[in-house]
Amino acid sequence: EAVRDALHKDAFLGRPTNSPFTVVNADNAISLADDNGRLWRDHRRFASQTLRDYAKSGMEYRIQQEIRYLIARIDETSGRPLNAGKLLTPSMSNNICHLVFGHRYDYNDPKRQAMDKMLDEACKVFSVIGVLAMAPAWFCKLVFRASDFGNKRQFDIAFDIFDKEISSHQKSLSASNRVNDYIDGYLAEMEVRQRKDHISQYNFSLRRLQANCRAFFSAGSGTVRTTTEWLLLLSVRYSDHQKRIHEEIDSVVGRDRSPCYADRLHMPFTQAFINESFRYKT
């Protein structure tokens, strides 16, 4: 009951203005991950609707395609030991690229590699966020400046890529008026608000769009990668469960097609293993 109250009641929605999540942002930009109140609701509602509409337009197929790229990279190792995290980071992040930018980056693309380095730094930051969340802002900044956490250069390089993507979308949207991804949708909403209400336009701005892009990548890439790594580790640790999962996959999915989201309804053991992993390591 207490957990339900904390997660759903408005009284618990407030966020501190000096969150340690903003330490790595030189401009102290506030994203939907850090905001609260009316602005947070507006951005959350818009993001949910935009991403839901975009997901209906073939997101599952894009994820399946990205998995094929990942499998191809794994096959290149020819059975040799590998660092799963190094392969999972670009794979998971490319799914966010599709949602936010409308396209993926090749694993060898310098932009892709720059974002991977940024995400690795973000994981280091998140590893100490829980402790620093209760500390004053000046102490958080001191810790990050005096340690290897949050290599600012890596963040700046990745953030510059985000800014260039936004600029590119501004030009392409002006030419076609077609919404293909989150950035397109946000820019279109900005234009509508500017025409409709000179006050509400400030709720949607380029600065907030930049911050939201950062939040999507930081929160949507590293978390999925870490979860997948735990699933791999636990399947190795419990080899009997791995065998049952393998048998269930062969029975339901087979070997002639890619798995789809609807398959989960016919794979109770695999679903139970995933749910238990969430309970065990979250």
Same domain, 82 and 129: yes
pLDDT at 214: 84
Q: Does residue 233 sit within a domain?
A: no
Its pTM stands at 0.81
Same domain, 98 and 51: yes
Q: Does residue 258 sit within a domain?
A: yes
pLDDT at 13: 65
Q: Does residue 123 sit within a domain?
A: yes
* Gap between the Cα atoms of 25 and 240, Å rounded: 46
Q: What is the CATH number of the domain that holds 69?
A: 1.10.630.10
Same domain, 126 and 155: yes
* Gap between the Cα atoms of 94 and 161, Å rounded: 14
- How many domains is the chain built from? 2
Q: Does residue 72 sit within a domain?
A: yes
pLDDT at 66: 94
Low-confidence stretches of the chain (pLDDT < 70) are: 6-29, 33-36, 55-57, 126-131, 133, 137, 144-151, 174-176, 197-202, 282
Domain range enclosing 268 = 238-282
Residue by residue, what is the 3-state secondary structure of 163-229? HHHHHHHHHHHHHHCCCCCHHHHHHHHHHHHHHHCCCHHHHCCHHHHHHHHHHHHHHHHHHHHHHHH
Q: Does residue 115 sit within a domain?
A: yes
Q: Does residue 42 sit within a domain?
A: yes
Q: Does residue 9 sit within a domain?
A: no
Same domain, 149 and 246: no
Q: Select from 223, 246, 269 the last residue of a domain.
A: 223
pLDDT at 79: 86
Give every CB contact of residue 219 below 8 A, 6+ residues apart in sequence: 33
pLDDT at 101: 92
Same domain, 72 and 212: yes
Q: Does residue 96 sit within a domain?
A: yes
Same domain, 48 and 145: yes
Same domain, 277 and 155: no
pLDDT in tens, 24-77: 555 556 777 666 677 778 888 888 888 787 766 688 899 999 999 999 999 999
Same domain, 277 and 205: no
Half-sphere exposure of 38 (CA within 13 A, CB side): 4
